[in-house]
Amino acid sequence: MMDIDEIKRYIHVGSGYVEIARDYNYKGICRRTFIRENEIQIDFCTAGNIEIDEGETTFYFCYESFEDVIKSAEYFLKKNVSEWTNYNRTWNEWNFEPYDEESHNRLFDDLQNHRLEFPENFRYMRICSIYALGVFLGKINPYNDKNIFDDTDFVKYLCSLENEFDRY
């Protein structure tokens, strides 16, 4: 069980965030939900990402206040704060199924077609992966993305794009 004071302690004098949920909606991919000062962070990662500590797809949803973060997270997770788990204390509890490419394709197809479930009522959203940004904007086809990073002009183009969205 969690409460607001515990979350504030982790944010202000601890790690700067609290991981509050892990969901496995795509085979072999975990959706991790974090609370930060005025942000909700969503990561999609595989067991391989965890092992090398990089490669996850990360989204930040920025809010006016910490209170707005809590309300939005409760609505998004369909749970009150008291029902959340503090994964900062149980960091090694994973439940990955074997990863398959079809799950990756479905995840990014859902991103491109704006079917991914994300928190609501944010001021803006940031996408922290060039690949995910390209998919979100319809510049990359998740079913045919071979060798896209060999094209340095295309990568420069993606890096130059605005990366804050007022709505999703």
pLDDT at 84: 94
pLDDT at 168: 47
The residue extents of the domains of the chain are 4-165
pLDDT at 91: 64
Closest alpha carbon to 167 in 108, 120, 117: 120
Mean residue pLDDT of the chain comes to: 85
- The string of DSSP codes covering 98-145 is PP-HHHHHHHHHHHHTT-S----S-SEEEE--HHHHHHHTTSS-TTS-
For the chain, where are the alpha helices, taking DSSP H only? Answer: 4-13, 47-52, 66-77, 101-112, 130-136, 152-160
What gap in Å lies between CA 26 and CA 100, rounded to an integer? Answer: 9
What gap in Å lies between CA 157 and CA 153, rounded to an integer? Answer: 6
| pTM of the predicted protein model | 0.86
Residue partners of 85: CB distance under 8 A and separation at least 6: 2, 20, 21, 22
Reported as a single tens digit per residue, the pLDDT across 29-82 is 999 999 999 999 999 988 766 655 556 789 999 999 999 999 999 999 999 999
What gap in Å lies between CA 125 and CA 148, rounded to an integer? Answer: 24
